[in-house]
Structure formats: structure tokens, C-alpha cells
Amino acid sequence: MRTQPRSSLANLSCVFKTCLGMLTLYALLVALPASAASITVSSADGQPLEDAVVEIYYEPSTPAIAAQEQTVFQRDAAFHPHVTAIPTGSYVAFPNQDTTRHNVYSFSPAKTFTLNLYLQETPEPLLFDQPGVVVLGCNIHDNMQAFIVVSDAPFAAKTDASGMLALPSLPAGEHRIRVWHPRLDDSQQVWWEGNVTADTSLSIRLELKAVSPAKPPLSPLQQRFKDAS
């Protein structure tokens, strides 16, 4: 019986390994999940809406989102970020990075508080243990405003600059979804509500309220008075 040449055996081995590698790669590609579903939020005229907060209510297979520690800082007489989404039970700190004092406060039912005038000495972080939209302001600078959305939903996050947000893997069936944006209503407490199906992308258009006219800037004398308060 003829013995197979070593070169032929080597070639057959290479072919076998190549085929095996291709089959393994194919199996991995097949096993990869399909592209994640997403939500797109825009205005009635089709403009993408950044900072729209999306909540989805479903029975999660894992515990709800854990509490977090977030920061809303003050710089150039403005809050950063403009919108923050946090789970119920989270803490938020309010460091002042300006050279003028600020007096951060909120009269919202979900969290009513006031932080007396401070500069470098950042107050202790505050606990946000009630769901709802918290509107932030500054008693010294009337134009300063920001929002903290406290959520008890299993999933809550905000859209990016393109108005998009990747959705989590959801159980089969329909699930309740809520969407909030600062300009959705003058009271800033109204949500758009609907349903979303697992593995389905969704596009939502919101009818926004007109932007309120900007308040006139303070005179130098008024600003000095406020800064000294």
C-alpha cells in the first residue's frame, strides 16, 4: 500500500484546520444577537431631541438598576448636565466650580430642598428617594435651571445628541414606555406614554411647547447685590 506523502498530509491538515476555523467563525456569527432595538425621539418637525428621558416598565430577570452617586456641578452660571436621570435612592452632589456663590434649590414634590449660599465648600450629597421630575434653580441667578429625573423603572436613560437611545433586551410582549423632555409641557411634569415591543425599534415625535423668552440680564449693580447676598 502506498504511503501518503508527508506534504500531502500537511496540506490536508491545513485544509482541515481552515475549514474548522471557518465553521467556528460561522457558529460565532450565528450566535451573536441581532442589532439592539433603539428608540428615536424627535420634535414634531423632525428635529432630534437630546436629553429626552425614557422609562420602560417590565418584569426584569435581574434586580432593578442600583442606586448611583451623580454630580450636577455649576460652571459659568449654569448647571451641568442640564438633565440627569437616576434610579430612586441615588445621591447627587452639587459642587460649585464658579467664582461666585450659588444657592441651589428645588420646590418639586419629588424633592424639596435648599442649599444655602456656598462657593468652594460643596454640601453633602442629597438623597433622592422619591420618583419624579426635580426642577433645579438658583436663588441668585434666575436663568439657571436643570432637571433631575428620579425613576423607579427597571430601565431609565436619556437620549444622546442624535435623539437616539439603545434599548435593553426586553421580555417578549408589550411593555409600558414613558418619555419626558423639559419642553414637553410648561409644568415640566408631563410624560408621553405608550407601548414598546421586545426587539422592536421605536420612533416618537413629541409636540413641544414654545421656548420661553430669555430673561434680560441683570445690571452690574443688580449682579453685585445678588453676589453679595
Alpha carbon distance 71, 89 (integer Å): 14
CATH number for the domain harbouring residue 184: 2.60.40.1120
The percent of residues above 70 in pLDDT, for the chain, comes to: 73
Residue 50 and residue 101 in one domain: no
- Residues 210, 110 within the same domain: no
Q: Is the dihedral of CA 130, 78, 122, 52 positive or negative?
A: positive
Average pLDDT, the chain: 81
229 is a domain residue = no
84 and 142, same domain (yes or no): yes
53 to 175, 178, 224: CA distances (angstroms): 16, 8, 37
Per DSSP, helices labelled H in the chain are 6-31, 220-228
**50 & 74 share domain:** no
**Residue 62: pLDDT band by 50, 70, 90 thresholds?**
low
What's the mean pLDDT in 115-127?
A: 93
CATH of the domain at 117: 2.60.40.420
- Does 213 score more than 50 pLDDT? no
Q: Among 152, 183, 204, identify where a domain stops.
A: 152
Residue 35 has pLDDT above 80, yes or no: no
Which among 130, 152, 174 is the end of a domain? 152
Is the same domain home to 78 and 120? yes
Q: Who has greater pLDDT, 170 or 158?
A: 158
**Could you tell me whether strands 90-93 and 69-71 are parallel, antiparallel, or unpaired per DSSP bridges?**
parallel
State yes or no: pLDDT of 73 exceeds 90: yes
DSSP 8-state secondary structure symbol assigned to residue 118: B
User: 146 vs 6, which has greater pLDDT?
Assistant: 146
> What per-residue confidence (pLDDT) applies to 216?
47
Give yes or no: residues 106 and 127 share one domain.
Answer: yes
**pLDDT mean over 49-73:** 86
Q: Are residues 5 and 43 in the same domain?
A: no
| 75 lies in the same domain as 102 | yes
Report d(CA 44, CA 39) in Å as an integer. Answer: 16
Q: Where is pLDDT greater, at 153 or 227? A: 153
Q: Kindly state the percentage of the chain with pLDDT values over 90.
A: 62
Tell whether 140 and 77 lie within a shared domain: yes
**Which range, 15-19, 59-63, 71-75, has the best average confidence (pLDDT)?**
71-75
- The confidence band for 154, taking pLDDT boundaries of 50, 70 and 90, is very high
* Residue closest to 134 by CA, chosen among 104, 107, 94: 107
Q: Show the domain range for 5.
A: 1-32
* Eight-state DSSP code of residue 208: P
Same domain, 168 and 100: no
Q: Do 16 and 50 share a domain, yes or no?
A: no
* DSSP 8-state symbol, 161: T
Model's pTM, two decimal places? 0.77
The predicted-structure confidence for 123-145, as pLDDT tens digits, reads as follows 999 999 999 999 999 999 999 99
Per DSSP bridges, beta strands 111-114 and 104-108 are: antiparallel
Q: Does residue 73 sit in the same domain as residue 127?
A: yes
Residue 227 belongs to some domain of the structure? no
Q: Looking at 9-13, 30-34, 152-156, 165-169, which range is the least confident one?
A: 30-34
Per the structure, how many domains does the chain have? 3
Distance from the Cα of residue 72 to its chain's centroid: 14
